Amino acid sequence: MKEKFSIRLKKALDLKNIKPIELAEKTGIPKSSISEYLKDKYEPKSKAIYLIAKELNINEGWLLGLEDVPMERIPICHKGVKIRVLNKIIAEVPIDTAENIIGYEEIPNDMAQNGNFFALKIKSDNMQPEIKIDDIVIVKQQSDCNSGEIAVVLINQHEATVNKVIKNNNSIILQPLNNNYDSLMFDSEQIKKIPVKIIGKVVEVRRIFEKRGGIENE
């Protein structure tokens, strides 16, 4: 069960040996607000969450009660640019919502200068074998892509998926690479009516390998 923000905040304060009043002074958040967070009267907004997490050096996602997210904040690396790893993308919800951030990835400075980027954790096997569950894809945020490119696509109000986009006249086909899944085809009217929106283009896939006994396993 997801832990409440108030519980996670108290744990972090105890572990870091910081008093609520000290946190208020260092973040600029009113003491009364910190007290209300701890009493579970309400949760702070994104800016306050960021300030608290930064001051305590903890992960925003962990602070918000997400499971399987490390507590410690990933350190800033000055060799590149840090981008947010998102858990999911849903219609009408800003992609940079704090509670949706589960970590960070680093991209080269020259890449970051060519647009806005985010990372997304894969939860479906529809793009296997090229992209697997728990892979992290680096995505350039854009509203279109070329035919044959892999993109993050939002269909109606559902969670966005990653598919190969095939364009044919005024229609598009969302083609999975896993043969166990069917392709989806939308004509120009459906694209507007449903709607079907491209959120960004996948430019890189990152995968963590576990080493057991000197052998790398996926």
Q: What is the pLDDT of the chain when averaged over all its residues? A: 86
Q: Is residue 12 part of a domain?
A: yes
* Residue 159 DSSP symbol: B
Number of Cβ within a 10 Å radius of residue 217 = 8
Same domain for 140 and 174, yes or no, is yes
The pLDDT of residue 118 is above 50: yes
Q: Which residue did the predictor score with more confidence, 72 or 181? A: 181
Strand 150-155 to strand 161-168: parallel, antiparallel, or no bridges (unpaired)? antiparallel
**Residue range 81-95: mean pLDDT, rounded:** 78
Same domain for 136 and 98, yes or no, is yes
Looking at residue 172, its pLDDT comes to: 96
The pLDDT of residue 141 is above 90: yes
Looking at residue 184, its pLDDT comes to: 95
Which domain, by its residues, includes 57?
5-63
Burial of 53 (0-12, 13-18, 19+ CB in 10 A): buried
| Measured distance CA(75)–CA(8) in Å, rounded | 20
Q: Which two tokens stand for residue 135?
A: 């892979």
Q: Is residue 72 part of a domain?
A: no
Looking at residue 209, its pLDDT comes to: 63
Q: Which two tokens stand for residue 171?
A: 């229609």
**Residue range 167-179: mean pLDDT, rounded:** 93
Peptide bond before 20: cis, by omega within 30 degrees of 0? Answer: no
Residue 149's nearest CA partner among 131, 171, 165 is 165
Looking at residue 28, its pLDDT comes to: 93
Q: Is residue 28 part of a domain?
A: yes
Q: Is residue 211 part of a domain?
A: no
Same domain for 194 and 150, yes or no, is yes
The pLDDT of residue 199 is above 60: yes
Last residue of a domain, which of 15, 32, 63?
Answer: 63
Residue 137's nearest CA partner among 154, 120, 160, 117 is 120
Residue 120 CA to its chain's centroid (Å): 5
Task: Please report, for the domain that includes residue 95, its CATH number.
Answer: 2.10.109.10
Looking at residue 189, its pLDDT comes to: 95
Which of 57-61, 98-102, 154-158, 159-163 is predicted with the least confidence, judged by mean pLDDT?
A: 98-102
Helix (H) or strand (E) holding 101: strand 101-108
> For the chain, how many structural domains are there in total?
2
Instruction: Give tens-digit pLDDT for 5-39.
Output: 999 999 999 999 999 999 999 999 999 999 999 99
Same domain for 55 and 122, yes or no, is no
pLDDT classification of 92: cutoffs 50, 70, 90: low
Q: Is residue 38 part of a domain?
A: yes
* Residue 70 DSSP symbol: -
Task: Please report, for the domain that includes residue 13, its CATH number.
Answer: 1.10.260.40
Return the C-alpha torsion angle 114, 120, 122, 128, nearest 10.
0
* Residue 181 DSSP symbol: S
Same domain for 157 and 190, yes or no, is yes
| Measured distance CA(185)–CA(158) in Å, rounded | 16
